[in-house]
Structure 1
Amino acid sequence: MHILTKVFIVFAAVLSLVLSVLTMAYAYNADSINSRYTDALQKAASAEAAAQAKTSAYADTSARQQEQIAALQGLLADVEARNADLVRENTTLVSEKQKAENRALAIENQIGDSLETTAAQAAVIDSMRQDNSKLRESELRLRTRSLELEDRLNDVASQNDVYQATVRALREQLAAAQRDAALAMSGASGAMGSDKPYEAAGPVIRGRVSRVSTDTASGEQIIEVDIGSNDRVAENMKLHVGRGTSQFVATLVVVRTDLQSAVARVALTNDGASVREGDLVVSRFSN
């Protein structure tokens, strides 16, 4: 046999042995690979299920997060809008503040001008007040003087009325005296006697009417006065009644006297006048 053939046979035997070994190894490895593959498939299925569960959970979480993001985006939009409003409001307030400060400054300037004007006006008003006070004082003095003159004029007019009434009474008394004198010269009755009314001489006697009554028998007024014989009042003395400062009321003739009082009858009255309690009684009128 050729050497080469032997070599090929040996080589073939070796290859057969190697192939047998490889076949045995392959068979063993195939079972192991199948087992591992099955385990791998199971693990892959488990991993896929876990992945799907995680994906579902992630989807839920993502949805919630998307909702939160949307809510936060809406809140952010509201905040941004509110911030824009606040910025505009702040701008408006700053502008209004500046305007207010400008107005305040203008008002302060006006107040300063007004204070100066007020001071000037106060000086003018004070001067006018002083002038008005002087004018009022002058007017008051003029009015007082006018009233005094008017009162004096009324007094003079009243005195004139009294003087005229007194003159009239004196004329009547003079006429009566002339008649009595004529009768006395002719020797007729009614000659001058002690019962003839007369004017008191000496200092003027003054008193007041204390009571006014009427004589039921004659109807004449009976006048009681608070002056009597202690005051030099006597029967048939004439007393004159006045009211106020110079008004003539009546002429009385004393019919009865006591120490501190007297009773008289009315001999002559001023037109429209009547004797009242409290009227002034004098023995004669004097200037």
Structure 2
Amino acid sequence: MLAIDGLAKRFGTATALDGVTFEVRPGEVFGFVGGNGAGKTTTMRIVLGVLEPDAGTISWHGAPLDPALRRRIGYLPEERGLYPRMRVTEQLVYLARLRGLRRSAAVAAAERWTERVGLGERRDDEVQKLSLGNQQRVQLCAALVHDPDVLVLDEPFSGLDPTAVDTLAGVLREQAAAGTPVIFSSHQLELVERLCDRVGIISAGRMVAVGTVGELRAGERTRYDVTGPPPGWADGLDGVRVVGTDGDRTRVELGPGTDDQQLLGAALAAGPVHAFGRHLPPLTELYRDAVADRSGTGSAVVPS
């Protein structure tokens, strides 16, 4: 298990990280989400040893993460980190040998991974002749070519078309199924929700929520979507707050002790009800609420 505990980091007077704590378990895909400048990349760079924290620890299976253990991490940076004039196989073999593989094993791994991500026919091309999406595939191969114990990926889906997204998602799930902890950051929250076992939300250098999407939903307010009755039917109902409308659909929030059957009865009394159900917020909405609660601005929900 990769455990991050109490990370703090300042750059001059700016606080980048403030007590960041979470863990990534074996066989788990962990989505690390937050706005620009929230602290995602800083956290990853500390895990890799590129930056030193001002406070906090990082451990792997209970042992401090030292340089030898960091060599077993597969890393994909947000920015392109490839040599543009090197051929794809040449580059991957070079990077694998830096991680300790013999040349024969490095060549075999480069061929296996380029085939897996759909670049088998381009492995003899110079990197600079590839599209940005294919360069991203090469970077993924570079993170995997030495058979890492942990995967740390910073915006791995950036610039990928839907087919490449599916390929990469499949690779990450395969790695997790083999027991590898996978942590990746992304602004594509729909993808994070579909792919990840758990999610961590960071805002202004602090973790504001960690858990499965179901666990994050359990901490949300109880909301219902009701379709059919005319607008205004729920105004003034005890224990009910209207949080959004969209045509004949109304989203309401129930206060403590308010019975959803009473809500349904009120809706039926106002007009025909075509749909009635608990609102299960997507990760996009959970993220907005968590960040808004952290900033003290409250939440504003528009049915979607």
Query: Relative contact order (alpha carbons < 8 A, sep ≥ 6): 1 or 2 greater?
Result: 2
**Structure number, greater radius of gyration:** 1
Q: Which has the higher strand share?
A: 2
TM-score (norm 2): 0.19
Q: Which has the higher helix share?
A: 1
TM-score (norm 1): 0.19
